[in-house]
Amino acid sequence: MNVAEKYTDAELIAAIGDTKHLNKAILFLYQQYARTTSSFIINYGASEQDAEDVFQETVVSFIDIVKKDKYRKEASIQTFLVSVARNIWLNEVKKRERSGFRERQFESGRDQKETDVSHQIGDLEKRRQLRELVNQLGEPCRKILLLFYYENLSMKEIVDHLPYENEQVVRNKKYKCLQQLTGIIKDHPAIASQIREIIK
């Protein structure tokens, strides 16, 4: 079994900021805090699956906060994670309540405007939408963009990972894939405006 490193709070923050140690840091977050945080969320009416999803969103948010240097070390990481998870879950609950309301409106024959819907979606939904935009790409495009923009691999390294002949072919493919993604985003102006708010 791959046992995660043991970290103090300060060491964990440092590990999250270091790409080489991020995997171990995430595993440690799960080993150390997933149960406690999920139990807390379940007490608020979440199912086990909800709690699992919320904790995953919590970890993503926490890493994002740390990487953007917004984590101010209040209390402990555990308390912070529980607070973030609670916030995410309450937003999700509100979104579901609104969704039910919208469904009732729809059933009663009222028109639904896309912009109205986008204004009502919560942060959790925004993050899902954000990822879904990328998931609308075909796997080759998704892979090449992730390798370049998330893994920070060079063109030469990508040639070693993917079945392309040379760096120029990869470069041309990446141009097309990125333009394809911007096209997908342009087709969802309401989502784009929402995303700007959460990822600025």
User: Site residues (CB under 8 A) for other proteins?
Assistant: 1-4, 22-23, 26-27, 29-36, 52, 56, 59-60, 63-65, 70-76, 78-80, 82-84, 86-87, 127, 130-131, 133-135, 142, 145-146, 148-151, 174-175, 178-179, 181-182, 185-186, 192, 195-196, 199
Q: How far apart are CA 70 and CA 53, in angstroms?
A: 23
In the complex, minimum distance from the CB of residue 111 to other proteins, in angstroms, rounded to a whole number: 25
- Residue-wise over 56-90: b if at least 16 C-beta within 10 A, else e? ebbbebbbeebeeeebeeeeebeebbbebbbbbbe
Based on CB atoms, which residue is closest to other proteins, 18 or 151?
A: 151
Smallest distance, Å, CB 142 to other proteins?
8
Smallest CA-to-CA distance from 162 within 147, 175, 150, 178 is with 147
Please, what is the minimum distance in Å from the beta carbon of residue 155 to other proteins? 10
Given the structure tokens 């009663």, which residue do they identify? 108
How far does Cα 25 stand from its chain's mean position?
Answer: 17
Beta carbon of residue 186, minimum distance to other proteins (angstroms, whole number): 6
